[in-house]
A and B are shown apart, each in its own frame.
Chain A
């Protein structure tokens, strides 16, 4: 049941211009990767680390949080046009399942973008002629961690996109959350508790590498998990009561 809604959601999305958004991720990665001044780093550090740190800076701090909003806007676009919500919800589906389906599909797309970002790292390194061994384990940790960190942001953006017809309004909310992250991640007080800063903190390999993620479990569960619960429940409750 849930699976068939997801399939139908994907079917609607296939022919939209969503591919351009998905491709924007690796594009940003490649752009920053190729611009990283690898020659400046001639110490002991694995050169892959260096490129990856440069790439995640822009990608995880700005691109990833912002793109969740664009994807969420796309996934609600068809329903906002010409009474699409009415049509979708008068099918034999529950609202909870529709919401779940859209959320799962969004998370799937974000994961796909993360994989493409990984591919862009590898490509950038190859072009730059990096000889060092590829630190697969650490990079995976970063890719996966960054994905986990987008859970609350995707939930909030899905909520906002269900409220507003226009792309610009939920995007504004997204921007208001994302811009302060640039400052927040530098702060020891705000950084760990600011949801929009988490994608960066969970992807940036400068952090502690002993744990499963680069940040402590308490932070993953408390900040990422907590804000996810709030945003997801808020969105779900809103959607269940939404007048269509």
Chain B
């Protein structure tokens, strides 16, 4: 059943710009560095011995912000597809369990964000090679910077899916998203327990992988919480 629901969810995404946004996020992050390096490449290359490292550092300034904003936008979009004509009542009067409907939405969103992560790695690598930053490509760092934020951001995804599906007024999840973005941007002053800090991969132990495990663990908990609440509610 979940496979069918996924097919249906992908069908409903047609002509709504989901794939465009999936592309736009990672492209935007790298495009900003295209402008940055385009304007002042010489200056930037002087900043450090490790040109690749410095370049990846510049990219990762925007990755967490783009990820959090992408989550806010995609979750709100997927909820408005059902909210627009209150199609929830039609969908949930079909022989499907509410749990699988929720799981399908989450899977679709996680899938899109994962594709974004892949694209981020590809774009980062391509532009890095184009800049001629050196023979020694730091593969491990590149992959970490592209995929760790995705896992570390799962709690934000789980939280936003819940807020977006239970709000009739999509202004609410967007406002929460704006506040979350501010938190992500200020992550350096935040304590480690704030989930919006995690995509920046910073923590007191200086061990980015901790954020990945926290992201998966707490993300799962928040997902289950949101799903159970969604199932408990009366359909509007």
Contact = CB atoms under 8 A, between A and B. Distances in A.
A175 to B, nearest CB: 5
Interface in A15-71: 16-17, 20-21, 24, 27-28, 31-32, 35, 58, 62-63, 66-67, 69-70
Interface in A86-142: none
A58 B182 contact: yes
Interface stretch (A161-169, A204-212, A217-225, A226-234): A161-169
B171 A77 contact: yes
A182 B62 contact: yes
Interface stretch (B2-10, B76-84, B88-96, B138-146): B76-84
**Among A21, A171, A189, residue most surrounded by chain B Cβ atoms (within 10 Å):** A171
Interface string B38-81: 01000000000000000000000110011001001100110010
Given A179-B69, A183-B32, A168 B170 contact: yes
Nearest to B24: A176
Given A16-B169, A179-B32, A168 B174 contact: yes
A70 B175 contact: yes
Contacts of B62: 179, 182
Interface in B125-178: 169-172, 174-175, 177-178
A63 B17 CA distance: 25
A187 interface: yes
Contacts of B177: 171
A200 interface: no
A167 B76 contact: yes
B182 A175 contact: no
Nearest to A168: B76
A7 interface: no
Contact of B35 (A28, A62, A74, A183): A183
A62 B185 contact: yes
Interface residues of B, number: 33
A172 interface: yes
Contacts of A190: 35, 39
B108 interface: no
Contact of A73 (B84, B174, B181, B185): B174
A180 interface: yes
B84 A165 contact: yes
Secondary structure call for the B interface: helix
Contact of A28 (B21, B39, B182): B182
A21 B171 contact: yes
A74 B65 contact: no
A189 B43 CA distance: 15
Contact of B175 (A20, A175, A180): A20
A179 B28 contact: yes
Contact of B174 (A16, A70, A189): A70
Given A168-B73, A172-B73, A73 B65 contact: no
Interface in A164-201: 165-169, 171-172, 175-176, 179-180, 182-183, 187, 189-190
Please list the 9 inter-chain residue pairs (A to B) with the smallest Cβ-Cβ separation, ordered nearest first: A168-B76, A167-B170, A166-B80, A35-B189, A168-B77, A66-B178, A167-B174, A168-B73, A175-B69
30 contacts: A16-B171, A17-B172, A20-B175, A21-B175, A24-B175, A24-B178, A24-B179, A28-B179, A35-B186, A58-B185, A63-B182, A66-B181, A69-B174, A70-B178, A77-B169, A165-B80, A165-B84, A166-B76, A166-B77, A167-B76, A167-B170, A167-B174, A168-B76, A168-B77, A168-B80, A168-B170, A169-B77, A171-B72, A175-B73, A190-B35
